[in-house]
Amino acid sequence: MIYFQNEYIIITYDEEPKLVRTQWKGFANSEEYRRILGIYLQLVSEKQVIRWIGDNTNAKAIRPADQEWTAKEWAPQFSKQGDVKRMAVIVSTDIFNKMAIENILMKSSGGVSFDTHFFDNEAAAMDWVMGA
């Protein structure tokens, strides 16, 4: 079922496997980016989520201030608030997004309680995340 959708992202939730799938569509400014990550928090507080696939194929750069905020403020809260066990990230074709995601994960590694792996296709991401 579609949980949320706008011009930047589609977020779906499948109840039986307790799976969230996100699909980014381009660049989101700071306000939209942070609003969407707030929706992630809302989703994990409303639904039981243990699996997450983030499709960043079409995602673009994330501003440095937003990277810092994500790593230091958002990630620990997301980790505490939800029951996510595995997060699969389908890597962006945009080098700036790839670098931003790596930076966020490096800075937030101590504050995250779930496994995160990177993939270049949805099938591999799905196989891994469903192993939880």
Position 106 scores a pLDDT of 87
Position 6 scores a pLDDT of 97
Q: What is the extent of the structural domain holding 27?
A: 2-129
pLDDT digits (tens, 9 = 90+) for 59-102: 999 999 999 999 999 999 998 888 999 999 999 999 999 999 98
Instruction: Give mean pLDDT, residues 7-16.
Output: 97
Amino acid at residue number 103? N
| Whole-angstrom distance, CA of residue 69 vs CA of residue 46 | 23
Q: Is 33 left (phi over 0), alpha (psi -120 to 50) or beta?
A: alpha
| Whole-angstrom distance, CA of residue 42 vs CA of residue 16 | 19
Domain count, the chain: 1
Q: Exposed e or buried b for every residue in 75-92, given b needs 16+ CB within 10 A?
A: beebbeebebbbbbbbbb
Is the pLDDT score of 132 beyond 70?
Answer: no
| Whole-angstrom distance, CA of residue 122 vs CA of residue 131 | 14
Position 109 scores a pLDDT of 73
pLDDT digits (tens, 9 = 90+) for 12-53: 999 999 999 999 999 999 999 999 999 999 999 999 999 999
The reported pTM is 0.93
| Whole-angstrom distance, CA of residue 41 vs CA of residue 59 | 20
CATH of the domain at 23: 3.40.50.10600
